[in-house]
Amino acid sequence: MIEWFVKTKQLLKSIERKAQDALPLYQQGGKAASASVNGYMKAELQQLCEQWRARYPDDEHLFRSLGRHIGFGMDVDYSDIINSDIPELQERADSLLLADSRNQRFGFEELLHPAITKSSYDLYRNGHLREAVLNSITALFDLVRARTNCREDGDRLIGRVFSIENPLLTLSELETDSGQNDQKGFMQIFKGAYQGIRNPKAHSMTHDLTQLKAAQYLVFASLLARRVDEASADSPAARPSRASAFKPTSTPMQRAKRDRS
């Protein structure tokens, strides 16, 4: 797109300069005097049309006025080229470049979790890197709360949700050492994301983010969001605590005593 834009602007500028040269020549000696310059303008118009149509075939109508004015080649036509035709085409080229930049993809979009895309991608694309990273962590913790109905925040939220003894979200089989290590490890990663990413970005307007670093933060937040999606949800009301699960039952003698009483 940038190459197309630069070449287009060069052609428009060249046609404008030639119209500025042709105008006094025509005023001094009529069409014969400006014929040579007019011929160069026609050739450049042909180049411009071919280049533009190759990328935007539906814009054919844009060149009718410019083509007509070059074809007539009188002083009023050269004035219209300078004051109207060229500025309008330059404005159109600028708008196409802006639209293309808004639709630009950076190459990591497929790695983003939908919640992170929704909260942060437009901010990232528009250069608001601090806000994009801050929102990604906020969206991550909102996702945790949405899955668990736990209203806590920060350390308290993560400690409650990923508790080894009575978790609301289970990342691995907690009956094994490996599963417990996974649960404990990601509990610390979630806490670190809050303390090391969310808090500094929320409390200061200064940052050291680049496009690359901000993109890496968004991918990191997406990894954690996907772990939340994949986790097993346990209801604290429906799931007995580990202590109550091993509560001893009454003996036959104790039951007999209760029956007699």
pTM metric for this prediction: 0.53
Residue 260 has pLDDT above 80, yes or no: no
Residue holding tokens 């470049």?
97
Q: Which helix (H) or strand (E) holds 169?
A: strand 169-170
Q: How many CB atoms lie within 10 A of CB 61?
A: 7
Residue 259 has pLDDT above 60, yes or no: no
Lowest model confidence (mean pLDDT) among 91-100, 182-191, 218-227: 91-100
Q: What is the pLDDT of residue 105?
A: 62
Tokens of 106: 């950076």
Q: What is the pLDDT of residue 104?
A: 63
Q: Locate the domains of the chain by residue range.
A: 2-102, 109-236
Instruction: Write out pLDDT tens, residues 211-252.
Output: 899 999 999 999 999 999 999 987 443 343 333 333 334 444
11 Cβ neighbours under 8 A, 6+ residues apart: 44, 47, 48, 51
Say how far apart CA 218 and CA 210 lie, in whole Å: 12
Task: Indicate the residue type of 108.
Answer: F
From residue 47, give the alpha-carbon distance in Å to each of 53, 81, 200: 10, 17, 54
Name the pLDDT band for 61 (thresholds 50, 70, 90): confident
Q: Quick one: what percent of the chain has pLDDT higher than 90?
A: 57
